[in-house]
Structure 1
C-alpha cells in the first residue's frame, strides 16, 4: 500500500485562466497560516482553492486535504468532519478536538475548508484547534464572509472580466473562453458570427462562472441569440429588486433563468429534491418526491431532464450504482420555492425513507451483505444527519429520531463513527424521556458506544436505564440487551463474576430468538471475553466456536471477526500462540474491510502478545508501533480494562528486554508513522507462499469430491441442490455428506460450514 498524501479531487473540466489569483493566494499562504477566499456564490472560490491546493500539495509532506462542509449545518460537527476527512476515527471520550490536535501536531499539511459560511462558529473552533496544535499546518478556506480568525488573511475572489467591446483581450476573453469551452462540451461550437452575442451574454451574466456554465449547458436546446434574449428579459425584471444585495440579485437571476427553462413537473421535482442533503439515489428520489401531483413512475425521466439541464449532477455511487446531486446554490434556490408546510411534509417523508433504510440495514446486517450495507449507509451519511437533525429540532419527532439513531448501531460501531453516534443519542435521549421501546434501544446503543470510549459511568447509567424501561414495558428482548450492556461495563470495571452472570443470561435469552442479529451474538462474544479474563479458556473457546458456527451459517463477517478475537485470546492464554496467530490474523483481515479501528486494536494487541510468546519480538515491536498510533485515535486502549492493560505491559516488557531498547525503538519507529493499514501490513507480512498454497485451502481428511460437497454445504445447498450442481445422483450426494460428517466427527451441517470458513480464512 502507498501512503495517502491527500484527497484533493482531480479536475474534471478545464480551468479557465486565473493566473494572477493563483499567484496572489500562493503568496498569501507563504506569509499567513490561514487564507480565506471570499466572494459571491458561484464565483469559483472552491475551484480556485483546489487549483492552488493542487499546485502546493507536493510541498506539504502530508499533502493537501479537502474538507467539504456544504452538507454540515451543525457547528459541533465541523471538528468531527475534519477528523473524519483526515482519516481519524473519532472514538475518544476525551473529545474529538483533543484527538484531532494530537493527530496533526507533527504534520506538514494543507487543509482546504470548503463552504464555511453556514457553520462559521464551528469553523472558527476547528481552525483554532488546527492552528494552535500544528505550526507547519496551513488552512485555505472558502466562505461567503470572512471567518474572523486571528491571523486570517482574506482574498476576495472577483468575477471573471467581461468583454467591453474588445473581446480579443486576454483578460476579458476569460469569460468568453469559459462559455466556449463549456458549450463545446455540451455539443455546441460557437461560430465566428456568434462572437458579439457571446460577449453580450457574458456581460449580462456579470462574469459569474456558475451562471456562464449554466448558460453554456443550455446550448443543447437554444441558440446563443435565444439565450441572450431570455437572459436579458429576466435580468431586467430582477433589476427592480433594490432591497437585495447585488450579488443576490445576480445569483437569483441565474437560478430564475434556469427555472424558467424547466417544465412544471421538472420545477416541482427540483424543489422537492432540495430536501436531500448531498447525493441521492433514484429509489430515494422516487420514494420521497413522488406523489401529490408527481407520479413516482415519472421521476426517472424528470431526473434525466434535470441532468441534461445541469440542474442535477450525476456521480458514481457504491457498487456500481448512480447517485444524483444538486449543487448547493441550486439546492438552496429549490428550497426557497417550498412553502413551510410543504417543506415540513417533505422532510418527514425524507426522514421516513432513511429510517426505513436504517432499520432494514439493522435487520440484514447479520448476513452476507454487510460490506454492501456499509458502502450504502456510508453514502447516505449527509442524509442521515439531515434526518436526525429534523427529529431533534421539530416538535413531536424525537421518538422517531431515537428509532433512527438506535437502528444505526451497526454504522456507529462497525464503521468507525462512535463519537458522532454518541452525540446524536445523547442529544435525542435528553429531549424525550418517555419510557418507550425506541428509547430503550437508544439507551443500550448509547451504553455500547460509551463503554468503548471508556466512559464507564455513562455506559452503566444508560444500560441500567435500558433495563428500567424494559421492565416498565415488560419486554424481555430489551431486558436482555440491558443485561448485556451492564455486563460490558462490569467487565471493563473488573467485576468479572457479575459480568459473566449478566452476559450469559443475556445470551441464554437471545439464542432462542427466531431472528438472531449481530448485537445478540455480541453478548455471546462478550461472554467469551469475560471467560478468558477469568481463566476459563475452554469455556471461552466453546463460546467462540459457537459464534463462528452461527456466523458461518449466516455468511456474516463482522461479528465473526470478534469471535476470532475471542478464540485467539483464549488460545494465547492457554499457551497455544500458534493457534492464536492464525485466528487473529483472520480477524484482522476481516476488520480492515470495515475500518473497524477499535476491533483492529483488540485483535492486533493479542497478535502482538502472541508473537512475543513465539519469540518473534521484532514483529511484535512493529505491531506495538502501529498500536501506539492506533490507540491515540481510538482514545482508550483495550476499553481501559486493567487486566488487558497488564497483559499488554508484560508483553511489551518482554519484547524490550529481548531486543534491547535501541533496537526495539527502531522497530517501533518503522511502523509508527505509517497509516494504520500500512503499518499492520508491514508488521504481519509473511514471506511469499507458493501460489497454490495461497489459493487452495487444505482439504484435511476429505477427498477432492468430498471437499467440493463440503463447500456446497457451507453455501447452504441442500442434498438435492448439491447433486444438481455436481451432476451426481442425490443418493450419492447424501453418501458424501455422511462420509464428511463421519471423517470430521461432526454432528451437523452447520459445523461443516464453520470448518470450511475456517479453512478459507487460514488460506487467506
Structure 2
C-alpha cells in the first residue's frame, strides 16, 4: 500500500467507513464530498486501508493540494505512482496504458481546485482502464458518468438526554484532549466539552484544533474562546500548512466559488443564523436564490441538511466584509428587515441552532 502513515485514530466515523468500503468495492468511481475540515482525507485513507486486499495491483494515494492545472494534475499522479512514461510527448495516453489492466485503487485527494482536469482524467481512465477504481475527495462532485457520491457532514452532536459521550463529536474531542495531555479532572467537565463541540458544529478540524489548546488552557477557557470566535482556531507547531486555521479553510472554499455563488454567499452573510431556502428567497429576492448544492461552502448537518443552511459567524467571515460594497442596500440589507421576511423564516434566521 502506498498510503500516508496513521498519526491518529479514526473516531466517530464507523458507519461512514463501512458504507464507503462497500461503495468502493462495488463502484469504479466514488466521490467523498464535504466541506473543508470535515475529515474527508482521513476517512478516505482509512477506507483505502480497509479494502486494500481487494486491489491486488496496489492502492495509491495522490495529494492534489498543490496541483493547479491539467499538467500539474497529471504530473502529480505520475509521480505518486512512481511511473516513468516512455512516451513523454503523450503522458496521459502512456498513463492510461500503464493502468489499463491493473486492478488498483487510486485515492485522489483534494480535487476541488482542479475539478475539470481531474474529471477529464478520471473519465479517460474509466473508459480506458476497466479494472481501475478511483476514490476522490473534494468539496464538490466531479460530475463524471458513473460517479457515486457520498456526502460527508460534521460529526453528530449530543441530542436531548442522550449520553453525551456517545456523540461522535464529543468522542473525537475527548480522544484528542487526552492525546494533548488535558488534565484528567478537566476531562470530567463534560458540560465544557459539549460547549466546545457545539460551538464548532462538530467539525472535526475545529475539534482537533480546539483540543490542541488544552496544552495551555482549561476546558472552560477553550469553550469561551471558541464560542466567541470559532474561526480563530489555528494549528501550531510543525506540520502541513493545509487547513492550518479554520478561517483559512473557509476562505479557500469561498475563493473556489463561481461568481454567481460568491455573490449569493455575500448577500446571505447578513443573516445571523440558520435559515431555510424559503427564508433565503424572501430575504434575497428572485425566483432562483438557492445556491447549487454541489459547490457552496456550507456545513451541513445530517439532521437538517435537506432544508436548512447555517451561516455562523465563522462561516460568514469571508463574505461579511464584502457584502456591503458589492451589493446595493436594496439587494441585501433592506431585505433582512422583518417586514420582508415571513414569520417562520424570520424565526429560523434568528433562533440559533436548527430545531
The TM-score normalised by the length of structure 2 is 0.66
Map of 1:60 onto structure 2? 55
TM-aligned CA distance change 1:76 to 1:171, over 3 Å:
farther
Structure 2 residue 183 is the aligned partner of structure 1 residue 189: yes
Give 1:76 shift: 2.4
Quote the residue 1:327 is aligned against. 242
- How far apart are residue 133 of structure 1 and its match? 2.0
CA positional deviation for 1:230: 1.7
SS in 2 for 1:151: coil
- Aligned CA distance change for structure 1 residues 335 and 28 (closer, same or farther; 3 Å): closer
Q: Is 1:142 equivalent to 2:137 in the alignment?
A: yes
- Equivalent in the alignment of 2:206: 211
Q: CA deviation at 1:95?
A: 0.9
Q: Distance in 2 between matches of 1:313 and 1:157?
A: 27
- Give the total of aligned pairs: 251
Match status 1:154 vs 2:69: no
Offset at 1:9? 1.8
Given that residues 12 and 172 in structure 2 are in contact (C-alpha distance below 8 angstroms), is that contact kept between their aligned partners in structure 1? Answer: no
Q: Among 236, 259, 265, which residue is 1:311 paired with?
A: 236
Cα distance in 2 between the residues matched to 1:199 and 1:14: 21
1:213 deviation in Å?
Answer: 0.3
Shift, 1:119, TM fit: 0.4
Report the Cα distance in structure 1 between the residues aligned to 2:32 and 2:184, rounded to whole angstroms: 33
Compared CA separation, residues 157 and 190, structure 1 to 2 (3 A): farther
Aligned mates of 2:12, 2:3 — CA distance in 1 = 20
Contact persistence 1:84–1:90 (CA under 8 A): no
Q: Secondary structure at the match of 1:207?
A: coil
1:47 has 2:39 as partner = no
- Shift in Å at residue 65 of structure 1? 0.4
The equivalent of 1:390 in structure 2 is none
1:122 aligns with 2:143: no
Cα distance, 1:327–1:312 mapped onto 2, change above 3 Å: farther
Would the aligned equivalents of 1:83 and 1:100 in 2 still touch at CA under 8 Å?
A: yes
Deviations 1:420-442 (A, max 9, x none): xxxxxxxxxxxxxxxxxxxxxxx
Kept after mapping to 2: 8 A contact 1:38/1:145: yes
Distance in 1, matches of 2:237 and 2:178, equals 19
Higher relative contact order (CA 8 A, sep 6+): 2
Determine the C-alpha separation between the residues in 2 that align with 1:11 and 1:104.
Answer: 27
Tell whether 2:216 aligns with 1:221.
yes
Alignment partner of 1:76: what SS? helix
Find the aligned partners of 1:99 and 1:327 in 2 and give their Cα distance.
31
* 1:357-396 superposed matches below 5 A: none
The structural deviation recorded for 1:92 is 2.1
Per the alignment, do residues 195 and 170 of structure 1 end up closer, same or farther by CA in structure 2, a change over 3 Å counting?
closer
Structure 1 residues without counterparts, runs of 5 or longer: 1-5, 235-252, 259-309, 315-324, 338-764
Aligned-residue offset at 1:332: 7.8
- SS state at 1:181 partner: helix
Shift of 1:190: 4.3
Counterpart selection for 1:199 from 194, 200, 210 = 194
Determine if contact 2:62/2:77 at 8 Å carries over to the other structure.
Answer: yes
In the TM superposition, 1:481-630 aligns within 5 A as: none
TM-align CA RMSD: 2.3
| 1:94 CA displacement | 3.6
8 Å CA contact 2:64–2:109 kept in 1: the answer is: yes
TM-score by structure 1 length? 0.31
Higher helix share: 1
Taking the aligned partners of 2:208 and 2:72, their CA distance within structure 1 comes to: 32
Q: Does 1:178 align with 2:172?
A: yes
Deviation at 1:181, TM superposition (A): 1.6
- Evaluate the alpha carbon distance shift between residue 336 and residue 311 of structure 1 in structure 2; reply closer, same or farther with a 3 A threshold: farther
CA distance in 2, matches of 1:30, 1:257: 37
Q: Secondary structure at the match of 2:189?
A: helix
Deviation by residue 1:359-410 (Cα, 9 ceiling, x = unmatched): xxxxxxxxxxxxxxxxxxxxxxxxxxxxxxxxxxxxxxxxxxxxxxxxxxxx
Shift of 1:160: 0.6
CA separation of 1:334 and 1:32: change in aligned 2, threshold 3 A: closer
Name the residue aligned to 1:102.
97
Q: Is the contact between residue 80 and residue 90 of structure 1 (CA under 8 Å) also seen in structure 2?
A: no
Decide which moves more: 192-201 or 147-156: 192-201
User: Is the CA contact 2:29–2:146 (under 8 Å) kept in the aligned structure 1?
Assistant: yes
SS at match of 1:139: strand
